[in-house]
């Protein structure tokens, strides 16, 4: 039963996060400090 709950939560997360990322909503939330920190890694 735990597997079903995990599968459901992952699938719902993907359904909500992927459209937000495609619309650029995620990029609006990233601050300049976050971008500088991410730039150090890659």
What pLDDT, on the 0 to 100 scale, is given for residue 16?
72
What pLDDT, on the 0 to 100 scale, is given for residue 14?
76
In the chain, domain spans: 2-39
Specify whether the CB–CB gap between 20 and 26 falls below 8 A.
yes
What pLDDT, on the 0 to 100 scale, is given for residue 21?
62
Mean pLDDT of 1-5: 86
HSE-up of residue 26 (Cα within 13 Å, Cβ side): 9
What pLDDT, on the 0 to 100 scale, is given for residue 37?
85
CA terminus-to-terminus distance, the chain? 39
Alpha-carbon 6 to chain mean position? 17
For 8-27, the pLDDT digits (tens) are 888 887 777 776 666 667 67
What pLDDT, on the 0 to 100 scale, is given for residue 20?
61
Residue 42 DSSP symbol:
-
What pLDDT, on the 0 to 100 scale, is given for residue 41?
81
């Amino acid at each position: 039963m735990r597997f079903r709950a995990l599968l459901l939560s992952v699938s719902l997360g993907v359904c909500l996060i992927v459209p937000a990322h495609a619309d650029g909503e995620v990029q609006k939330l990233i601050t300049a400090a976050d971008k500088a920190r991410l730039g150090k890694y890659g």
